[in-house]
């Protein structure tokens, strides 16, 4: 399915960006939407994974992928070309006097593409396969993707993946087809605890802040928001999280930065170096001719 995205607008590479859809060329568009994943109420049921696979017709993983890893009860391990939602199971041993010895804390979190405000995958795509939609999300057009994998290496979260036997890149589309039909994404629809909430991004950020304050008041000082700050290294995420521990515990980078942020400076340095080289060659040739 090819997006009807208009011609490209100015491409801001870093910092707060109030209207990503307008920046992408949409003069009129709906409010930007996103996901707020509250890991404090995730029960690890993986209904989101199943709903995502069923709605999007994702291939079944190989039988060896479904086997237990020996490190966790999680059998999908990570996001990939065939797993656009991934529920991580994180087991933490605890020493508690009240429990009279060792105990265990389980952290569960449904991970997904972050639909970044500044999306490096979109910046580096040479064919235009990756586009910003009118909803502010980032999708891959499989009929345009040439499998170069530039987006795979550019993503600071390791989200995008190439499919074996296919070669093209795949990731979450936030159910773009459902959004165009006025429906919420399949994962959010299937979540039984509302751990995954979908809606206008500004509203979700307000909901998340209220929830964070509730957890702090209840004594969970370690609770924090991840990806909700427009001043962070990706300009804020379209899919952000409430975590109960450090981001690294969940396999997330602590301070993600869009990998194309320094491109203008790099090109300036490359241009200057090329100019110096050209000048040196010209001087050398001039010297030989004079001799």
The answer to the question of residue 80 being in a domain is: yes
CATH number, domain containing residue 215: 3.30.70.20
Give the pair of three-digit tokens for residue 43.
């029960």
CA-atom Rg of the chain in angstroms? 22
The answer to the question of residue 6 being in a domain is: no
Q: How many domains does the chain have?
A: 2
Residue recorded with tokens 């100015």? 10
Q: Across residues 50-79, what is the average pLDDT?
A: 77
DSSP string computed for the chain: ------S------SS--S-HHHHTT-SS-PPPEEEEEEGGG-----HHHHHHHHHHTPPPPPHHHHS--SS-S-SS-S-BTTBSEEEEEEEEEEEETTTTEEEEEEEEEEEE----SS-HHHHH-SSS-EEE-TTS-EEE-TTT-----HHHHH-TT---EEPTTT--EE-----HHHHHTT---HHHHH-TT--EEEEEHHHHHHHHHHHHHHHHHTT-TT-EEES--TTSBTS--SEEEEESS-GGGGT--SS-B-TTTTHHHHHHHHHHHHHHHHHHHHHHHHHHHH-
Residue 240 has what pLDDT? 98
Least-confidence region, from 13-27, 84-98, 106-120, 213-227: 84-98
| pLDDT band, very low/low/confident/very high, at 48 (cuts 50, 70, 90) | very high
Cα distance between the two ends of the chain = 65
Q: What is the largest CA-CA distance in the chain?
A: 91
Residues 192 and 277 reside in one and the same domain: no
Residue 288 has what pLDDT? 62
In Å, what is the CA distance from 111 to each residue of 99, 165, 214, 233? 31, 25, 23, 19
Residue 8 has what pLDDT? 37
Residue 64 has what pLDDT? 45
With contact defined as beta carbons under 8 Å apart, do 26 and 6 qualify?
yes
Q: Across residues 106-131, what is the average pLDDT?
A: 95
Residues 65 and 40 reside in one and the same domain: yes
Residues 194 and 290 reside in one and the same domain: no
Nearest to 111 by CA among 136, 93, 84: 84
Residue recorded with tokens 């629809």? 189
Residues 159 and 66 reside in one and the same domain: yes
Q: Across residues 9-26, what is the average pLDDT?
A: 80
The answer to the question of residue 51 being in a domain is: yes
| pLDDT band, very low/low/confident/very high, at 92 (cuts 50, 70, 90) | confident
The answer to the question of residue 8 being in a domain is: no
Residue 267 has what pLDDT? 45
Residues 70 and 196 reside in one and the same domain: yes
Q: Which domain holds residue 225?
A: 20-260
Percent residues over pLDDT 70 in the chain:
79
The answer to the question of residue 24 being in a domain is: yes
| pLDDT band, very low/low/confident/very high, at 207 (cuts 50, 70, 90) | very high
Residues 24 and 123 reside in one and the same domain: yes
- The pTM of the full predicted model, rounded to 2 decimals, is 0.83
Q: Across residues 1-8, what is the average pLDDT?
A: 41
Residues 183 and 67 reside in one and the same domain: yes
Cβ contacts of 32 within 8 Å, gap of 6 or more:
19, 20, 21, 135, 136, 200, 201, 202, 238
Q: Across residues 101-120, what is the average pLDDT?
A: 90
pLDDT digits (tens, 9 = 90+) for 134-180: 999 999 999 999 999 999 999 999 999 999 989 999 999 999 999 99
Task: Please say if the pLDDT value at position 62 is more than 80.
Answer: no
The answer to the question of residue 167 being in a domain is: yes
With contact defined as beta carbons under 8 Å apart, do 25 and 122 qualify?
no
Residue 4 has what pLDDT? 42
Q: Dihedral through CA 179, CA 28, CA 160, CA 247, nearest 10?
A: -90
The answer to the question of residue 169 being in a domain is: yes
Task: Please say if the pLDDT value at position 9 is more than 50.
Answer: no
Residues 29 and 106 reside in one and the same domain: yes
Residues 46 and 150 reside in one and the same domain: yes
Task: Please say if the pLDDT value at position 2 is more than 70.
Answer: no
Residue 269 has what pLDDT? 44
Residues 281 and 172 reside in one and the same domain: no
Q: Across residues 171-196, what is the average pLDDT?
A: 98
Residues 253 and 272 reside in one and the same domain: no
Residues 190 and 269 reside in one and the same domain: no
The answer to the question of residue 172 being in a domain is: yes
């Amino acid at each position: 399915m090819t997006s009807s995205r208009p011609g490209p607008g100015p491409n801001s590479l870093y910092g707060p960006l109030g209207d990503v859809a307008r920046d992408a060329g949409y003069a009129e568009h709906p409010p930007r939407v996103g996901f707020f994943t509250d890991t404090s109420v995730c029960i690890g049921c993986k209904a989101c994974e199943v709903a995502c696979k069923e709605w999007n017709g994702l291939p079944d993983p190989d039988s060896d992928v479904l086997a237990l890893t020996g490190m966790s009860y999680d059998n999908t391990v990570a996001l990939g070309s065939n797993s656009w939602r991934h529920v991580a199971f994180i087991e933490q041993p605890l020493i508690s006097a009240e429990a009279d010895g060792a105990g265990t804390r389980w952290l569960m979190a449904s991970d997904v593409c972050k639909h970044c405000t500044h999306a490096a995958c979109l910046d580096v795509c040479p064919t235009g396969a990756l586009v910003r939609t009118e909803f502010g999300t980032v999708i891959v057009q499989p009929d345009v993707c040439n499998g170069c994998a530039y987006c795979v290496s550019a993503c600071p979260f390791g989200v995008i993946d190439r499919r074996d036997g296919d070669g093209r890149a795949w990731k979450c589309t936030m159910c773009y087809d459902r959004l165009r039909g006025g429906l919420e994404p399949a994962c959010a629809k299937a979540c039984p605890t509302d751990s995954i909430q979908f809606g206008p991004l500004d509203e979700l950020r307000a909901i998340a802040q209220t929830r964070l304050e509730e957890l702090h008041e209840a004594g969970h000082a370690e609770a924090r928001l991840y990806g909700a700050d427009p001043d962070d290294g990706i300009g804020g995420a379209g899919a952000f999280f409430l975590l109960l521990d450090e981001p690294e515990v969940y396999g997330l980078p602590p301070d993600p930065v869009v990998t194309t942020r320094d491109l203008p400076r790099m090109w300036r340095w490359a241009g200057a170096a090329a100019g110096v080289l050209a000048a040196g060659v010209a001087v050398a040739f001039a010297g030989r001719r004079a001799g």
